[in-house]
Amino acid sequence: MARKKPSVEKMYFSIGEVSKMFDVNTSLIRFWEKEFDIIQPHRNKKGNRLFTKADIENFHQIFHLVKERGYTLAGAKEKLHRNREETNTEFVVVKTLQKIKNFLIEIRQDLSKLERQNL
């Protein structure tokens, strides 16, 4: 019987990895880190930023508010400070709806392919 390899989950992400996740420059990641106190990366001995999954989730919320919903930085800060739990719930709902939308688009594309094959 084949042995399963234990899955190793990454604990820390470099600033370059985070910037690729969001398709933004590293300077924006550094800027948001300074602007939003909810982002608290660890630093290694060299001083490089190491972001946790919690930091990544916080970046997702900030990105959603600023880039997708059009909030100003001040507005995003206020929303996160005023009612963090509600903001998180809204973010999770939007994320789930986006997954459902993508799934439905895939189904539509697959059906279109099947229709073309049957013609």
The answer to whether residue 29 is domain-embedded is yes
Give the pair of three-digit tokens for residue 46. Answer: 């060299």
Beta bridge partners of 13: 51
Instruction: Work out how many domains the chain is built from and give that number.
Output: 1
What pLDDT is recorded for position 89? 82
- 71 lies in which domain range? 15-118
In CATH, what number is assigned to the domain containing residue 108?
Answer: 1.10.1660.10
What are the per-10-residue average pLDDT scores of the chain (119 residues)?
66 94 94 92 93 92 90 91 80 87 94 84
The answer to whether residue 102 is domain-embedded is yes
The answer to whether residue 4 is domain-embedded is no
What pLDDT is recorded for position 6? 63
Q: What pTM, to 2 d.p., does this model score?
A: 0.70
The answer to whether residue 5 is domain-embedded is no
3-state secondary structure of 13: strand
The answer to whether residue 88 is domain-embedded is yes
CA distance 116 to 96: 31
